[in-house]
């Protein structure tokens, strides 16, 4: 490269680094203004330093992407200088916005204890005048605007010092140099050489929430908020009553919301409080008090299809879990809330189903809304400490924040697992792109259950191994089970979409199944077997074949497994056949567990106990599908639906189109519509109550 090109490149790098350093100064202001009093710099120097370095990378990424927007104005040598100057001013506008937003982010965090998110759009949605007045009254507005002006000037000064004197030079530079500059900026923008680019989950570097917030970047926070806002607007999800309207309930008066509740719960509202219909009570059964630990495992991509595809002895995806299925309880007529991890997991953490035309709870205006249906809240009332454990970085998709909102006492992830296993001198089997292997995660849970804390323990756990790119620990002897996973013996091998991918899926599915089985073995072979209730389900299914139109239910089903200690099992006289023949969804997990582990306790729920004797059970998800043992309905809107009947002579849950609308179809249709409407009402009520 020519000498003047090298010098010019250094000038650009100095400009980018100067702006990133400016971001670090703003981050220092963030730290000085908002660091908790008990966050000692001496004690946590390493983590705080790491947060500043990680934050520098976030700022460098944002600045690099903004600078790339200026490249088209200098890419061609014949570009008029006046046009390049216009591009420079546009670029300055982006920098001024970034600087202003970074300062405002400090104010935002001081109120919401979170970096800029969807709530920031309250300036548009709410009374803007009132918001501005509130800001003017509660914050030193003059000083804040002065700081913004100073930082904007520093950004302007950087462009004037480094770019303005070199505009003609960069226009005249070799085309290859400009491409090289673009590549370097893109690399800085991506922020990492790993599989995934720099994103919000990279900000989680500590078990201390403030340090994680300190390490994040305003540019990425704003971009995330805009993306979520756009997704909401595209489906009308910014309107709180969109599901009520969609499914035939008018919103002109409270009576419409009452009607939705009465239709769903099948009861009349008493005392003018529709939310009383959500209240239930567990049995008055002293044996329930013997339960000291409740563990809910949400297994990545643990679909029912993998279980029903098992055909012993030729093909075996289930592995060592088969004996636990035989000994305990397993339901295969069970639907996940959504086809995505974030959606299903957020609903499980909150104890509610996902609405049909609304964004996931973690990606909505309900991100900071605590709900009375939260299992953490319900168990905490009964002397439980509540844990959310993620098998990787819990900052992924703001799951950690949502778990905190729903009242979980402890948010744990890869950092805590590594530290605890190291403390017990237990070596990790390794890590993968998404975090910790399942077996290490289960070792951690077992250790924690054995620790004495003086309280009962609730663990909600999300595993991450059974996920693309389907990595396995180096010590896993895949060849020992390879004969049981021969793709030629897969019952429907001719329908497989990608044989190579299917082989990888088979191995990780089997690995996760065996890891789960080993964990349950460990519990059953210890004193914990008398006091621990274990349940497991999938966040969503795993799609191995091209499903046809009458396989929509089996395509999305996940298992619901429960281990119940012997004393509790006998006290409740649990009916294995009734449980396994009923239909259910994620919203039914918690009522089932409450009734087995809490004595005479009240709880709020839209679901029901899967062990309860009922004539009519159903499964549903956010795809507008609701299914019973004989019928299925796709609820398009308030006036139109598609109806299906169970396929004859089928061993799986297959459904064929029906031209007739039976009474069962009508019942299912009403259940779905009224539930979606009731959820709108309940969530809006919870948000308004929480804001008062």
What residue has token string 């709180």?
240
Between CA 410 and CA 461 the distance in angstroms is: 12
Kindly report, residue by residue over 11-21, the tens digit of the pLDDT: 999 999 999 99
Stronger pLDDT, 218 or 502, i.e. the higher one: 218
User: Using an 8 Å Cβ cutoff, are 436 and 463 in contact?
Assistant: no
First to last CA, the chain: 64
pLDDT recorded at residue 497: 67
**What pLDDT does residue 478 have?**
83
Tens of pLDDT, residue by residue over 24-45, are 999 999 999 888 877 888 889 9
Give 266-286 as a DSSP string: -S---TT-GGGGGEEE----G
**DSSP β-bridge partners for residue 435:** 432
Predicted confidence band of residue 1 (pLDDT cuts 50, 70, 90): very low
3-state secondary structure of 606: coil
The rounded radius of gyration (Å) of the Cα atoms in the chain is 28
In tens, the pLDDT along 369-420 reads 999 999 999 999 999 999 999 999 998 888 999 999 999 999 999 999 999 9
Residues 437, 438, 439, 440: is their CA dihedral positive or negative? positive
Mean pLDDT is highest, among 168-177, 189-198, 573-582, for 573-582
In this prediction the pTM is 0.81
Q: State residue 127's pLDDT score.
A: 46
With pLDDT > 90 as the criterion, what percentage of the chain qualifies? 64
For 292-330, write each residue's pLDDT tens digit: 999 999 999 999 988 988 988 889 999 999 999 999 999
Question: Taking residues 582-587, what's their average pLDDT?
Answer: 98
CA distance 322 to 160: 70
- Domains in the chain, CATH or no CATH each: 3-234 (no CATH), 274-690 (3.40.720.10)
Q: Is the pLDDT score of 126 beyond 60?
A: no
Backbone angles phi, psi at 147, to 5 degrees: -65, -45
**Tens digit of each residue's pLDDT (9 = 90 or more) over 220-238:** 989 888 877 776 566 555 5
SS3 state of residue 386: strand
DSSP conformational letter for 297: E
pLDDT at 273: 92
* CA-closest candidate to residue 601, choices 610, 593, 611: 593
- The model's confidence at residue 436, banded by pLDDT at 50, 70 and 90, is very high
Decide: helix, strand or coil at residue 499.
Answer: helix
pLDDT at 236: 54
Q: How far is Cα 461 from Cα 388, in angstroms, rounded to an integer?
A: 6
Q: How far is CA 186 from CA 126, 433, 687, in A?
A: 37, 22, 41
Instruction: Compute the distance between CA of residue 98 and CA of residue 63 in angstroms, rounded to an integer.
Output: 9
pLDDT at 56: 95
261 contacts 681 by C-beta, under 8 angstroms:
yes
Q: pLDDT digit string (tens) for 502-552?
A: 888 899 999 999 999 999 999 999 999 999 999 999 999 877 666 666 777
Give me the chain's average pLDDT, please.
90
CA-to-CA distance for 675 and 671, rounded, in angstroms? 6
| 8 A C-beta contact, residue 484 and residue 316 | yes
């Amino acid at each position: 490269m020519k000498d003047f090109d090298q010098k010019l490149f250094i000038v650009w790098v100095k400009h980018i680094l100067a702006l990133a350093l400016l971001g670090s100064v703003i981050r220092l202001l963030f730290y000085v203004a908002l660091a908790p009093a008990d966050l000692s710099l001496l004690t946590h120097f390493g983590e705080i330093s790491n947060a500043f370095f990680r934050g520098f990378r976030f700022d460098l990424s944002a600045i690099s992407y903004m600078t790339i927007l200026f490249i088209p104005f200098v890419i061609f040598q014949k570009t008029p200088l006046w046009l390049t100057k216009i591009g420079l001013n546009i670029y300055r506008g982006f920098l001024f916005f970034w600087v202003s937003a970074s300062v405002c982010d400090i104010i935002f965090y001081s109120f919401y204890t979170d970096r800029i998110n969807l709530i920031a759009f309250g300036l548009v949605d709410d009374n803007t005048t009132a918001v501005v007045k509130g800001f003017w009254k509660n914050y030193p507005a003059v000083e804040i605007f002065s700081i913004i002006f100073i930082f904007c000037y520093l950004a302007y000064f950087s462009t004037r010092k480094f770019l303005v004197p070199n505009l003609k030079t960069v226009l005249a530079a070799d085309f290859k140099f400009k491409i090289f500059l673009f590549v370097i900026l893109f690399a800085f923008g991506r922020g990492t050489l790993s599989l995934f680019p720099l994103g919000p989950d990279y900000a989680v570097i500590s078990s201390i929430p403030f340090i994680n917030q300190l390490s994040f970047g305003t540019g990425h926070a704003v971009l995330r908020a805009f993306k979520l806002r756009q997704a909401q607007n595209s489906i009308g999800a910014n309107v709180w009553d969109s599901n009520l309207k969609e499914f035939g309930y008018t919103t002109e008066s409270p009576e419409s919301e009452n009607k939705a509740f009465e239709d769903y719960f099948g009861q009349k509202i008493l005392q003018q409080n529709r939310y009383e219909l959500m209240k239930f009570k567990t049995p008055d059964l002293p044996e329930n008090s013997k339960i000291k630990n409740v563990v809910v495992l949400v297994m990545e991509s643990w679909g029912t299809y993998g279980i029903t595809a098992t055909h012993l002895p030729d093909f075996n995806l289930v592995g060592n879990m088969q004996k636990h299925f035989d000994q305990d309880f397993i339901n295969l007529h069970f639907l996940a809330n959504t086809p995505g991890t974030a959606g299903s997991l957020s609903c499980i953490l909150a104890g509610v189903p996902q609405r049909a035309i609304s964004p996931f709870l973690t990606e909505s205006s309900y991100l900071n809304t605590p709900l009375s249906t939260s299992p953490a809240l319900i168990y905490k009332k009964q002397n439980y400490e509540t844990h959310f454990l993620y098998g990787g970085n819990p900052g992924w998709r703001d799951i950690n924040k949502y778990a905190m909102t729903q009242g979980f006492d402890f948010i744990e992830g890869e950092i805590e697992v590594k530290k605890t296993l190291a403390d017990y001198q237990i070596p990790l089997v390794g890590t993968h792109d998404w975090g910790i292997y399942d077996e290490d995660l289960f070792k951690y849970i077992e250790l924690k259950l054995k620790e004495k804390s003086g309280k009962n323990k609730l663990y909600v756990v999300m595993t991450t191994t059974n996920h693309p790119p389907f990595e396995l620990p180096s010590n896993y002897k895949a060849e020992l089970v390879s004969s049981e996973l021969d793709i030629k013996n897969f019952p429907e091998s001719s329908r497989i979409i990608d044989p190579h991918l299917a082989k990888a899926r088979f191995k990780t599915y089997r690995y996760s199944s065996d890891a789960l089985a080993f964990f349950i073995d460990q519990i059953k072979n210890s004193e914990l077997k008398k006091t621990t209730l274990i349940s497991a389900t999938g966040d969503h299914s795993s799609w191995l074949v091209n499903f046809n139109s009458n396989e929509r239910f089996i395509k999305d089903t996940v298992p619901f497994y429960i281990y119940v200690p012997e004393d509790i099992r006998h006290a409740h006289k649990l009916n294995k056949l009734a449980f396994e023949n009923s239909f259910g969804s994620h919203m039914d997990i918690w009522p089932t567990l409450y009734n087995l582990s809490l004595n005479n306790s009240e709880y709020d729920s839209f679901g029901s106990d899967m062990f309860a004797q009922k004539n009519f059970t159903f499964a549903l998800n956010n795809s507008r599908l609701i299914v019973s043992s004989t019928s299925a309905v796709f609820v398009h809107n308030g006036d139109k639906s598609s109806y299906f009947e169970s396929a004859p002579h089928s061993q799986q849950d297959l459904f064929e189109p029906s031209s007739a609308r039976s009474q069962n179809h009508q019942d299912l249709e009403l259940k779905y519509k009224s539930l979606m409407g009731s959820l709108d009402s309940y969530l809006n009520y919870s948000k308004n109550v929480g804001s008062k």
